[in-house]
Amino acid sequence: MTEPAMETVDSFGVMAERQFADVWSRTVLSVRERRLLLLGLLVGQGLDEQTDVQLDAALRGGDLTETELREVVVFLSHYAGWARGARLNDQVENLIERVRRARSGRADPAG
């Protein structure tokens, strides 16, 4: 007789997802305000990959416009440093170009 297959449960992943959902669904701060706070934190810590994810979510989700993202670059460059500001500028401009291409139906050469 064989044992039934054990289902693997990612309890940490489930817990983390639930906690993030709770934090993002609270009503005192808007999603836009939360996104701005998180972007400042990520840029300040130099966490580029997570910054890319949040920039994409902000633009595609309508939390921030292209103009507002560019203003975030100006603001954070003064507080996070010019090197991080320059990197953020590249991230924002690359994202804007990718989103514009996608919206116009053209293929993205970056994949």
Range from 4-8, 28-32, 77-81, 86-90 carrying the lowest mean pLDDT: 4-8
Q: Report how far residue 18's alpha carbon sits from residue 51's, in angstroms, rounded to the nearest whole number.
A: 21
Model confidence, pTM: 0.79
Query: Residue 18's pLDDT is what?
Result: 82
Q: Report how far residue 31's alpha carbon sits from residue 39's, in angstroms, rounded to the nearest whole number.
A: 12
Per-residue pLDDT tens over the stretch 31-87: 999 999 999 999 999 999 999 999 999 999 999 999 999 999 999 999 999 999 999
pLDDT at 2 over 80: no
Residue ranges covered by each domain of the chain: 30-104
In the block, tokens 């992943």 appear at: 13
